[in-house]
Structure 1
């Protein structure tokens, strides 16, 4: 499901399989390579250097930045199109100074303003790991950056104002755990790349550090210790569990979506508990910030709000009239700090685009596809200001912008996803799921699901229910997505119903009917 979602321009290198294929790799210290692999994981290096071809580390992924489209370079050790002719010193200079092997300034979409804090020894370990990967020949395509931003020498102004090179300096008054957390948060983790308010000013103190901000159409929330908008009211267990799984016990965390969901799946979930706890310990020492003041919020009448009726019609069957959801199945909206962020972008993107199953929670239908933009705006304001919640109301046009920016399989405006787990893909293929789901009528969903699930589960004795739900949903998309508009129900409702039934039958295999609330039916626009 990873490629369903938008990906923020936050990553440096892609994690791949270490395959010793040349003299360097054969002679390399394998402990150093292994350490480099972990550091690459900690740096969330998966997202940005795999383009449409799907070749790992081969680049050509498009970063949509404020100055234009930047295509990422090939970082495999290929001599002609990758880093094969780079030296270790070249790589250290790129990480620490943002300058490539030919002396050109690198655009700050590559987070060297954070990577400069990584120790030289760790940079060398990352280099050893990257050199151990198999070369891929993939020429880099041209950027689409208009004048004057395509003149790299103009970057000297940005660098002078906002870039300070230098490795991380531990605080002698802080504990070893806090210093380790600071090293990860401020360096490899480059958390401010998304969570700073003003991205253009990098990691400087002018950037509204860690107070939350918009990134690639999603809202990265406040992660300072503020009780209302940040993580101040979360326990350590909640924060660590959220970083590992994308959700946590209690109302505050909610469910991760967008770039954060990918960061958790590909980076944070693979880190040690000790490092995650260290990051939390460091964030706890940070000064609490508010991206909006409670006194500045306008009065919101929840009883008279138009969103109250929309919520009752479209949302309450799952999230419950009191906004408390269903424990372990439907996340709560009441008390959810993500819902109450300064920006509504993530809430809007989830309403329009839906969510796959994750962390034991049911998939969410892309319900906003059956609503008008005004209805979506009204219900968003309602849930952000009900049950004790409080947040700024939407500005005009924000909901419509979010609809335009949202493209997912569940919404029906993006290609069907690919099943990324090889074992799940094989189990789905061996069960002939796509063939079995072709021409399937809605009244036959449950019998067909019940026939497929035992075969798939037997092939995946240790498989996660989330992966099975998402895998079968992908198979259904490929088997059933209509080529015409001659259908009884809109696509988002059809695939949403199927996905929720798979989830329900997995959780309640002894029952022959779904115990999950059916997705709300769209009203005619």
Structure 2
């Protein structure tokens, strides 16, 4: 090395060559660091909380509804005025590891630093490098709505003293490298307990009902401990791993992911390596099985005479079948579904009210609850959670349905904006084939022949688009061209769009069948 430096000093050309090589190597190292940081940010699903309604990724202003009020998330782009542009790496590490902001104030635990503190300094450095590589977005942070006394940040010292201890993840010397890697992800960047712990306000402490399930943002995050009935104890490793990757699993055991979990899978877990997913499963297997309710303490549920039986037969049985087994590969089973049997009924209620988009080859589910009373929804929720061998607590808080109705906003429910066509190739194909124009002013009896004419051309034009993409893209397009017209004024919109989505799925899968699996989503949409 000394000889090289001496030669460089006597030769301007050689010095320039050495300098250029060193620069390239440094840039390569920086790019590797940024790339690793991107993976780690994905593992932490940072985009979910730091992307507001305007859709500017990582620019913040997403409203977190917490027990202490509404907290607006900050801008993570390197904008110098409104983002992290003037943050040093050390200041970023202190926020990530210790929960202390640039100005020295305590951060609210809505930011999961109680989990992120377990992330190594090298990984935090990579995360910082990636965020600093983003395009700056000027987006001033909106004011949070936190009432007194929670608005006084110094009061957070009580919470920190009781529940927060800073410190990186410590591998278990008696566990395998795979289990320790899974623990690092689950307990750190994955911050799984943020949703799946029973008590959210106490962070990741032992008092939090660790991974035993709990309510988050109006949804129920289920028990993910190895309990046989309420958790993942009866799932195979393949089922758990496939569910984390795709939102569904072989055997229909967990049904399909909905709500925040579906978003987490789409934005984060589906993008992790198979090795990391397997490691997370291996770690979850080592956790203590936890019962969130005792089966012996459940209220007696007389299935044949249950109030929800008639509701189920009217609204649900044509797809999910009278025995709750669904249709393999098309309609998820309810019988034996561990998600259905969670301690809380919120997820079932939200799906009934808001419907589900097509995913993992399963048909979309209409928002049938929009045509039901709160009492009917409560009754049918109790019915499916306690029939065909299912066992779960019956609803005790009758206000849970009305609360969900007030908060659920989806395209299928008819109370939210029409979704965008998520697949770019499909969006171009819809434009190129004039599909939107062909979906205008259709009578219900025209759904089948019109879709049969559209689908072959659309599939040919949108090479690579999945069946899920096509069903959801067509439904979103139909929503855009039909929702705000008077053409369907004589029928509930949730029934119209639910019927359309179901016909689209049926004709895509079996064009020769005249939509035999249509869901009775309420009064039939018609136009004379």
Partner secondary structure for residue 47 of structure 1: helix
Aligned equivalent of 1:5: none
Q: After the TM superposition, which of the residue ranges 227-236 and 96-105 deviates more from structure 2?
A: 96-105
Partner secondary structure for residue 70 of structure 1: strand
State the alpha-carbon separation in 1 of the partners of residues 425 and 204 from structure 2. Answer: 40
Deviations 1:368-420 (A, max 9, x none): 11111111111110110000000000022222222112111101111111223
State the alpha-carbon separation in 1 of the partners of residues 68 and 486 from structure 2. Answer: 38
Equivalent runs, 1:170-181 vs 2, <5 Å? 170-181=171-182
Deviations 1:403-451 (A, max 9, x none): 1121111011111112233222222222232222122221211222122
Aligned equivalent of 2:381: 380
Query: Contact (CA 8 Å) 1:367, 1:493: kept in 2 or not?
Result: yes
State the alpha-carbon separation in 2 of the partners of residues 27 and 137 from structure 1. Answer: 29
Query: Contact (CA 8 Å) 1:438, 1:480: kept in 2 or not?
Result: yes
Aligned equivalent of 1:196: 197
Deviations 1:216-245 (A, max 9, x none): 000000000000000000000100011111
State the alpha-carbon separation in 1 of the partners of residues 464 and 242 from structure 2. Answer: 21
Structure 2: gaps (5+ residues) = 1-23
Deviations 1:350-377 (A, max 9, x none): 0000000000000000001111111111
Aligned residues: 499
Q: Do structure 1's residue 460 and structure 2's residue 465 form an aligned pair?
A: no
Aligned equivalent of 2:478: 476
Aligned equivalent of 1:74: 75
Query: Contact (CA 8 Å) 2:422, 2:469: kept in 1 or not?
Result: no
Structure 1: gaps (5+ residues) = 1-22
Q: After the TM superposition, which of the residue ranges 333-342 and 432-441 deviates more from structure 2?
A: 432-441
Q: Do structure 1's residue 164 and structure 2's residue 165 form an aligned pair?
A: yes
Aligned equivalent of 1:302: 303
> What displacement does 1:519 show?
2.4
Query: Contact (CA 8 Å) 1:313, 1:520: kept in 2 or not?
Result: no
Which has a greater percent of helix? 2
Partner secondary structure for residue 119 of structure 2: coil
State the alpha-carbon separation in 1 of the partners of residues 356 and 488 from structure 2. Answer: 25
State the alpha-carbon separation in 1 of the partners of residues 521 and 361 from structure 2. Answer: 21
Query: Contact (CA 8 Å) 1:221, 1:230: kept in 2 or not?
Result: yes
Query: Contact (CA 8 Å) 1:251, 1:334: kept in 2 or not?
Result: no
Q: Do structure 1's residue 392 and structure 2's residue 393 form an aligned pair?
A: yes
Aligned equivalent of 2:17: none
Q: Do structure 1's residue 93 and structure 2's residue 91 form an aligned pair?
A: no
Aligned equivalent of 2:39: 38
Partner secondary structure for residue 181 of structure 1: helix
State the alpha-carbon separation in 1 of the partners of residues 322 and 169 from structure 2. Answer: 49
Rg larger in structure:
2
Aligned equivalent of 2:152: 151
Higher relative contact order (CA 8 A, sep 6+): 1
State the alpha-carbon separation in 2 of the partners of residues 232 and 190 from structure 1. Answer: 21
> What displacement does 1:512 show?
5.7
> What displacement does 1:26 show?
6.1
State the alpha-carbon separation in 2 of the partners of residues 137 and 27 from structure 1. Answer: 29
State the alpha-carbon separation in 2 of the partners of residues 384 and 117 from structure 1. Answer: 37
Aligned equivalent of 1:255: 256
The root-mean-square deviation of aligned C-alpha atoms, in Å, is 1.6
Q: Do structure 1's residue 505 and structure 2's residue 507 form an aligned pair?
A: yes
Q: Structure 1 residues 275 and 212 mapped into 2: Cα distance closer, same or farther (>3 Å)?
A: same
Query: Contact (CA 8 Å) 2:367, 2:521: kept in 1 or not?
Result: no
> What displacement does 1:457 show?
1.1
Equivalent runs, 1:306-385 vs 2, <5 Å? 306-385=307-386
Aligned equivalent of 2:9: none
Deviations 1:31-67 (A, max 9, x none): 1111111111111122111112211111111111111
Deviations 1:328-367 (A, max 9, x none): 0000000000000000000000000000000000000000
Equivalent runs, 1:213-252 vs 2, <5 Å? 213-252=214-253
State the alpha-carbon separation in 2 of the partners of residues 285 and 75 from structure 1. Answer: 35
Aligned equivalent of 1:11: none
Query: Contact (CA 8 Å) 1:28, 1:128: kept in 2 or not?
Result: no
> What displacement does 1:27 show?
7.7
State the alpha-carbon separation in 2 of the partners of residues 409 and 121 from structure 1. Answer: 42
Aligned equivalent of 1:441: 443
Partner secondary structure for residue 224 of structure 1: coil
Q: Do structure 1's residue 102 and structure 2's residue 107 form an aligned pair?
A: no
State the alpha-carbon separation in 1 of the partners of residues 369 and 457 from structure 2. Answer: 34
User: What TM-score comes out, normalization by structure 2 length?
Assistant: 0.92
State the alpha-carbon separation in 2 of the partners of residues 222 and 512 from structure 1. Answer: 40
Partner secondary structure for residue 219 of structure 1: strand
> What displacement does 1:521 show?
2.8
State the alpha-carbon separation in 1 of the partners of residues 228 and 55 from structure 2. Answer: 42
Q: Structure 1 residues 26 and 138 mapped into 2: Cα distance closer, same or farther (>3 Å)?
A: farther
Q: After the TM superposition, which of the residue ranges 389-398 and 349-358 deviates more from structure 2?
A: 389-398
User: What TM-score comes out, normalization by structure 1 length?
Assistant: 0.93
Query: Contact (CA 8 Å) 2:425, 2:463: kept in 1 or not?
Result: no
Runs of 4+ in 1 over 4 A off after TM superposition: 25-28, 483-486
Q: After the TM superposition, which of the residue ranges 388-397 and 432-441 deviates more from structure 2?
A: 432-441
Partner secondary structure for residue 214 of structure 1: strand
Partner secondary structure for residue 46 of structure 2: coil
State the alpha-carbon separation in 2 of the partners of residues 518 and 343 from structure 1. Answer: 26
State the alpha-carbon separation in 2 of the partners of residues 251 and 422 from structure 1. Answer: 30
State the alpha-carbon separation in 2 of the partners of residues 430 and 100 from structure 1. Answer: 50
